[in-house]
Structure 1
Amino acid sequence: MRILVVGGGTGGTILANNLTRRLTSEIRAGRVRITMLSDSDRHMYQPGLLYVAFGQMTPDQLYRDQASMLEPSIDFQVDAVTEFHFDKNQVKTQSGKIHKYDILAIATGARIVPQEVPGLSEGSENFFTEEGAVRLHRRLREFQGGTVAMVVSIPHKCPVAPVEAMFMLHDFFKARGIRDKVKLRYHYPTNRVHATSNVAQWAKPEFDKAGIEYETLFNLKEVDPVNKIVHSEEGSAVKYDLLISIPPHRG
């Protein structure tokens, strides 16, 4: 049996390793072969990007050699898949190779698409890429006071990240001694502060304790980066000095 995993991120790595451990005897007997195809020889620990944004990690700490993250019996190849041929149970890679499979797992992850919201790319910062996290950290260090607003598009990677980021903002500005000069505003698209009910039940009173303002049923429509106003589909208009976004994601 040929098992092919496309993608070397967190999901693909966990899946390939778990399959290898569960199928150890079959792999040793030559009845199963597991192959992973990735576009990079480096593995990024993506949850760490949030900590880069707050200066708690450096970008170089996010990376490991991908091969070192995998069980030795996994056939790991750096060769991006360019074509899927599901009718033939095969994929074609950037190098031109054809890889046949019996079972295919696509673990290529999600990408952010801030360009889908007018003005979002120009008017906001985010922590979903290394470049974005580094830039946000610089903006936070330089910020002297005013309104920091967060807007959330769902679904997105790391579901609890917006809530975590708000409390990290509170602690960050408190440590800098300027929390009293900063208004923190949180905007979420559903009728509670988080889609997961137990997270919402816990977070709402904690927001109140920390002095974090929140608005629900705020579905992001557009951003006016010149006048620093973010608009919702429901008709709200919020002025900001620094806008942090959880951008739309696509597979």
Structure 2
Amino acid sequence: MTNLDLSTIPEHVAIIMDGNGRWANQRGMPRAYGHRQGMESLHAVVRAAGDLGIRYLTLFAFSSENWRRPETEISGLFGLLKTFVQRDLAELRSRNVRVRVIGERGNLKNDILKLLIEAEEGTATNTGMTLVIAFNYGARDEMTRAVSALMRDVQAGLLPMSAITPEAISARLDTAGMPDPDLIIRTSGEERLSNFLLWQAAYSELVFVPEYWPDFGRENFLAALERYATRNRRFGGLAPAAAVVGS
């Protein structure tokens, strides 16, 4: 049960799903086992977010730095991606969830790219929650690509230098057209963003929880939303009470 006030529900929640490997290690199991169990948490959170009316849910699924991991682990993660598309896409369609994938696609193998495109195209007409999968994603790479695109337009004479504004950069990020995340949650007790949505997180509320991702379910998600509801978001301004006292 929860005392969550539905009027405080954020429009966009992003999650760094961390701790699958450590969760498995504590149980004497291979890291792949933790990733499989983490899929169950993913299902629970996606359903909860949709039920609560959250408009955007962004999940950090595979970072551009994850290629440094052992080949067996990477293969296992790709296997889970294939399972997700083949098994879970039908449920997402039925729940009116739209899938959007962000991240660099240029260096992906054709079979992986095909899966990502299938997930997007298979839900393109849905009008409910947008499930954003950050795959082969790194925020610095994203920002570099955005600025490079702007500079190409400047060099081609399509834009003046004065047109390089924060709004112009945002419009060329992978998340163009989406609101910035109101809340970013990270599991496993780590307290950093790890190259995730660095530009978009400028005014996000951050909630760090100790549970590893396989232990993070619906109730943990609701508890994080309750913590968010207590925050006073000022976006660089003054809180109403402070404004009166300091006037």
Normalised by the size of structure 2, how large is the TM-score? 0.30
Higher share of residues assigned helix: 2
Larger CA Rg, structure 1 vs 2: 1
Select the structure with the greater relative contact order (CA < 8 A; seq sep ≥ 6): 2
Higher share of residues assigned strand: 1
Normalised by the size of structure 1, how large is the TM-score? 0.29
